Structure 1
Amino acid sequence: MNASKVPIITRRRGIAQYFIETLPNEVTLEMVSIPAGSFVMGAPESEEGSSDDERPQHEVTVSAFFFGKFQVTQAQWRAVATLPKVKQDLKSDPSRFKGENRPVEQISWYDAEEFCARLSEYTKREYRLPSEAEWEYGCRGMTSPPAPLLLGEGSKKIYPPFHFGETITPEHVNYNGEYPYGDAPKGLNRAETTDVGSFSANAFGLYDMHGNVWEWCGDDWHKNYEGAPTDGSIWLAENEQKDIKNNEGREIRKLLRGGSWILLARNCRSAYRNPYVARNLNHGNGFRVVCPLR
């Protein structure tokens, strides 16, 4: 391979602080401390594969919180599914690809919300889905002091598309390697999920923020960032109830982030946004949880 075509993968060392939540059946859930900070959310027009729904770029200030070190696993899902119902029933084993340490998938946004509600009742701590801003901030792995920014497009701050750097490879992320990004070569398509934590973590100590399974966020879908909150909060629609219909009327669309095992590298970018009907299931959709600091 031409040396100029070798993809550059950047790693930054960080010191992760965390706590461990004990679930039923001695299953554990590791939560990583994410420090407060500010970052520029979204992608510039110059970023390959970006679209207008990732703009306008805007500065967001995020409060400190705890984030799941891994995507919620099937073992964790099963443990919480045994807890008393809050609003709806949960299947104990919904996933297509079986494995205690593989991420749970084939769950709806409402299923993920029920998981958080049961977990909150059990632990007496608040658990919820991340906001889009919390998710992107956690994905990018903004260390303190912040990682160096690239400068471009006038005075705008531009981050690399991935927390690894300018691109990814299947050696670092579980995605469809037949569809690379930038100058990266084609690579392996595993065609299934992998155990969480199989690849390198970002500077915050979070694993699989790119690929493996999509991750549900708490926000409603908005077609761009016009009017988006700048405090890292969950952004809910007021009068934008949504344009997908079925026999039950209008559907609510929520946000998925991070890409998955089945998709192209460009769909795994830190800024990529995927609207998805909240009640729908897919073997590429999972989640991780947030525990806010109070």
Structure 2
Amino acid sequence: MKDPYRFGAAFDVGNHPVVGVNWYEALAFCRWLSAKVSYEVRLPSEEAWEKAARGGRDGFESRPYPWGNEYVSGYANIDEVASKVSPYYLQQTSAVGMYPQGASAGGIYDLSGNVWEWTLTKVNEAHVLRGGSWSLDPRDARASSRGGDLPGYRGDFRGFRVACVVPAVSGL
């Protein structure tokens, strides 16, 4: 099968996010994984994604970035060259966890940059994407940054992360 996106083998790297998958394929993977592990795995809702990115007790602190209040060069895989923030620009996805200093308060890596992430949330006909990507500038690395695309679209800068649904504990 030919690569579904134009970058081909350069983006077929272990420990990097999967790209070139549409929303339906991401959802199918979640269903497959749920059956394999015997608990529910799904795409996060937009609200859950933002809560993870902002961190804090209530999950909705006013921090604009997962790591804090200011953009810091080298904390996320984004296009810093285009914005003239720094000379660092990988021009592709990075290994998961390559930017540990950019982790959220909850210790979640790569919520800013690397790839736009599909969510369950739908607005009109499009599904919401969160997190920005390696091809965008620091404005798109903010926790509030939002994009969207039709669910059948495969993109070079789009991927997904999974969320595990924790079952309620009875008797507490």
- Please indicate the TM-score interval, normalised by the length of the shorter structure: 0.7 to 0.9
> Does the C-alpha gap of structure 1 residues 162 and 179 become closer, same or farther in structure 2, counting only changes over 3 Å?
farther
- Stretches of 4+ aligned residues off by more than 6 angstroms: none
CA distances 1:162-208 after superposition (whole Å, capped 9, x unpaired) = 0222333441110000244xxx9334221111100101122211000
Return the match for 1:186 from 60, 63, 86. Answer: 86
C-alpha deviation, 1:264, in angstroms: 1.2
| Counterparts of 1:219 and 1:185, CA distance in 2 | 32
- TM-score, normalised via structure 1 length: 0.51
Q: Partner of 2:116 in structure 1?
A: 214
- The answer on 1:126 being equivalent to 2:40 is yes
2:132 pairs with 234, 254, 259, which one?
259
Q: Which has the larger radius of gyration?
A: 1
Q: Does 1:279 align with 2:152?
A: yes
Q: Distance in 2 between matches of 1:170 and 1:194?
A: 15
Matched, 1:172 2:78: no
* Identity, % of aligned positions: 34
The alpha carbon displacement at 1:272 in A equals: 1.1
Tell me which amino acid in the other structure corresponds to 1:284: F
Deviations 1:226-281, CA, capped at 9 Å, x for gaps: xxxxxxxxxxxxxxxx4xxxxxxxxx310100000001111111011101111001
Q: Which amino acid aligns with 2:12?
A: K
Q: Secondary structure at the match of 1:115?
A: helix
Aligned-partner SS, 2:140? helix
Alpha-carbon distance in structure 2 between the residues aligned to 1:138 and 1:256: 14
Q: Of 3, 6, 15, which aligns to 1:101?
A: 15
Stretches of structure 2 that go unaligned for 5 or more consecutive residues are 168-172
TM-score normalised by length of structure 2: 0.84
Greater length-normalized contact order (CA 8 Å, ≥ 6 residues apart)? 2
1-structure distance, mates of 2:23, 2:82: 28
Aligned residue identity for 2:69: E
Structure-1 separation of matches of 2:19 and 2:165: 24
Tell me the equivalent position of 1:113. 27
Q: Which amino acid aligns with 2:127?
A: K
d(CA) in 1 for partners of 2:149 and 2:24? 12
